[in-house]
Amino acid sequence: MAAITIKSAKEIELMRESGRILALVHEELEKIIEPGISTMDIDKKGYELIKGFGCIPSFLNYNGYPASICVSINDEVVHGIPNKKHILREGDIVSLDAGVIYKGYHSDAARTHAVGTITPEAQRLIDVTRESFFEGIKFAKAGNHLHDISKAIQNHVESNGYSVVRDLVGHGVGRELHEEPQIPNFKTVGRGPKLVPGMTLAIEPMVNAGAYDVWWLEDDWTVVTQDGSLSAHYENTILITEDEPEIFTLKK
Ligand code: MF3
Ligand code: CO
């Protein structure tokens, strides 16, 4: 198992810029979300934006993944493959997951959006998922342990009557998209590694309105809820410091 990398000041500077660009990409993608567009339209726009910022879309060809943006609708949890036949409809929720490489450094972030008017229940799922990230990172501080974050995410999700996906987790991020450590959004054995300034982490709760069980579609990528319930995703790349974490992929 590779060790957790601690980034130098120079590396942090590059990751900060990588994250700043990714925040802008998400901001622009949100603007085109409306009934009638295809998930392929979102991917095309994402590719153009990322290239336009002089970055590389890190998901494209990652383990054979065929697109730049993962677009997951309703009961799709993550890794939906863009398709020109998949059209957003009023009332859907859609998760966009994107990654960029800037001067060799990755950032990774996801958002879930409403398509037109959605039910209050769907909106609450989106809100609780985002909130669980912020509950988690209250513990993202040097001296704490990784699983303090995991526990806080799970507590927020479950106290709102939802469930946390078990089969996928967050991860360290830096020169690679996926670095050590794995970051579960739920309680596991032990406290996890101690958090140290200079760690850069992609924390990404995936939350189902129903049960946490998921399976993979025939395309070997798209993850869906087994019970057909809605699922939301929220992710940012953060930096551990002595005090508050810095969120690279949110506008300052
Ligand atoms: N954001 C995803 C993650 O954290 C990456 C998607 S996998 C890819 O693991 F193949 F689409 F790149
Ligand atoms: Co990720």
For residue range 175-189, list pLDDT tens digits in order: 999 999 999 999 999
pLDDT exceeds cutoff 90 at 2: no
Query: What does the alpha-carbon distance between residue 210 and residue 230 come to, in Å, rounded to a whole number?
Result: 7
pLDDT exceeds cutoff 90 at 49: yes
Q: What is the mean pLDDT of residues 28-38?
A: 98
Residue pLDDT, tens place only, 9-31: 999 999 999 999 999 999 999 99
CA of 139 to the centre of ligand 1 (A): 24
Strand ranges (E), the chain? 56-57, 69-73, 76-78, 93-102, 105-114, 163-164, 170-172, 179-183, 200-203, 206-208, 214-216, 223-225, 231-233, 236-239, 246-247
Q: Confirm or reject: Cβ of 14 under 6 Å from ligand 1.
A: no
Query: What does the alpha-carbon distance between residue 35 and residue 159 come to, in Å, rounded to a whole number?
Result: 32
Q: Confirm or reject: Cβ of 233 under 6 Å from ligand 1.
A: no
CB of 223 within 8 A of CB of 216?
yes
CATH class for the region spanning 9-247:
alpha beta
Tell me the pLDDT band of 252, cut-offs 50, 70 and 90: confident
Q: Confirm or reject: Cβ of 65 under 6 Å from ligand 1.
A: yes
Q: What is the mean pLDDT of residues 89-114?
A: 99
CB of 190 within 8 A of CB of 177?
no
- Between CA 250 and CA 240, with CA 15 as vertex, the angle to 5 degrees is 75
Number of Cβ within 10 Å of residue 136's Cβ equals 27
pTM for the predicted model, two decimal places: 0.98
Q: Confirm or reject: Cβ of 221 under 6 Å from ligand 1.
A: no
Q: Confirm or reject: Cβ of 202 under 6 Å from ligand 1.
A: yes
Q: Which residues contact 96 (CB under 8 A, 6 or more apart)?
A: 26, 29, 42, 46, 69, 70, 71, 110, 111, 112, 113
Number of Cβ within 10 Å of residue 36's Cβ equals 11
Q: Confirm or reject: Cβ of 101 under 6 Å from ligand 1.
A: no
Nearest CA to ligand 1 atom 12: 59
User: For a pocket test of ligand 1, which of 65, 165, 171 has the largest count of ligand atoms closer than 8 A to its C-beta?
Assistant: 65
Nearest CA to ligand 1 atom 7: 59
Residues whose Cβ atom is located within 5 A of ion ligand 2: 108, 202, 204
